[in-house]
Structure 1
Amino acid sequence: MTARPKHTTPHAGADSAFAALHHAEEPLLLPNAWDCASARALAGQGFPAIGTTSLGVAAAAGLPDGAAATRAETLRLARALGPEPWLLSVDAEGGFSDDPDEVAQFARELHAVGVAGINLEDGLGPADRHAAKIAAVKEAAPGLFVNARTDTHWLGDGDTTDTLARLDAYQQAGADGVFVPGLTDLRRITALVRHVRVPLNILYSPDGPAVSRLAEAGVRRISLGSLLYRRALGAALEAVAEIRAGRTPAGRTPSYGEVAGQVPPR
């Protein structure tokens, strides 16, 4: 494996166990859960940190993703999972508001219940507005790891100049890490690693580079996003199709006791 660039944590308040995972020998592979059962099952596989997926949380509640409709559901899940012994990062879309003060208040509530990180996406909106949100969050909850996402490759055409300008603005505002979902070209990923001053987060894609290749390029965090939620739905559909056809579904099925046992006694 090739040597990776060294990053330094730019904010003392983010010098936590979660921040440290972004500076370890191997990149942080962050699986994303959508409810308590999925989060606890993933933590049971030894992952030191679990993220949430906004799509999974929204779809499970029958609400649209990316429409600032799931503030209550996201906070409810954070309150349930925040006290768990593993580290939690919450996907908060764009902070559920265009008002930096309201986003900061939401971040403060997350941090108060034990959340270690927050993912904030710009949705290709004005970069200065997103930067203001990041700055407000860092002032309100300095210990919260802010992963600033730009959607230039997810919703836009992947313009390099725009991507770099946005990442520079978000770093300047105090982001502890930056996230560019939709980018799968290894050469461009490597160039971004060299450009940014904070850990780079890339969304894993089954059609993109393997985890080992991303690690060699210097990526420090690899998120799974909504992939596990979508795979779970796919597995359910495959299983019911097999049953309807008179066959036994393949693959591992957790027992009733295994799932029920993930709920701690009260």
Structure 2
Amino acid sequence: MRNIKLIIEYDGTNYHGWQIQKNAVTIQEHVEKALRQLLGVQTGVTGCSRTDVGVHAYGQVAHFFTDSTIPGEKFSYALNNLLPRDIVVQKSEEVPEDFHSRYSSKGKKYRYLICNSAHQSALMRNRACHVRPELDFEQMRKAAAHFVGEHDFAAFQATGGQVRSTVREIYSMNVSRKEDKLIELEVSGNGFLYNMIRIIAGTLIYVGMGKLRESDIPGIIGGLDRTNAGKTAPAQGLYLMEIYY
């Protein structure tokens, strides 16, 4: 059996996340449907990250096994002819049989976009979190630095996460200003808890609004209490950028 790796970009607006569900349309469902049309047999696809409803991706990674003789690099072209226009396989390649999109990964990079303006953007309404009050960018930038390193991030996990340990290492976290009143949070680390990035984003928004101080962050991390952190920011601002192997 050959092992084929896919790098998939998608706009998550119209989907209930990556993972197949009984009564909702998902990205994985469409990819498996396209493979069934292409190969003539049901082919399961394993994705690295179970992105939630409305979350987008530039670099979701998935893999599947096949007996097909189609060259690995040609799967992207064939699948893109069968997929909806908001799901695109940016790259496909044959990889060693022991490669696993989830278990072989060593880290991920995410991006969160905040549209900080008096009025919502018509073009970014499904692609950024809208915050009306003017945010203190410098305080947000300083607060972000406290998250870098290895910590117990129990205070930044939503209910429903099932993990053995809530300790994670954040390699880098940068807050920057972009055009059109956008604020970008970019985070990379060895792994993330359920809704962790969105809770961090919500906490930084609270700092920017003055509801929390930059100096509060170490205590919130150390307190391990979810109620001390900010609200979970909306899903539409979140992007899975890259997965490290």
Calculate the TM-score normalised by the size of structure 1. Answer: 0.23
Query: Bigger relative contact order, structure 1 or 2, given CA contacts below 8 A and separation 6+?
Result: 2
- Structure with the larger helix share: 1
Calculate the TM-score normalised by the size of structure 2. Answer: 0.25
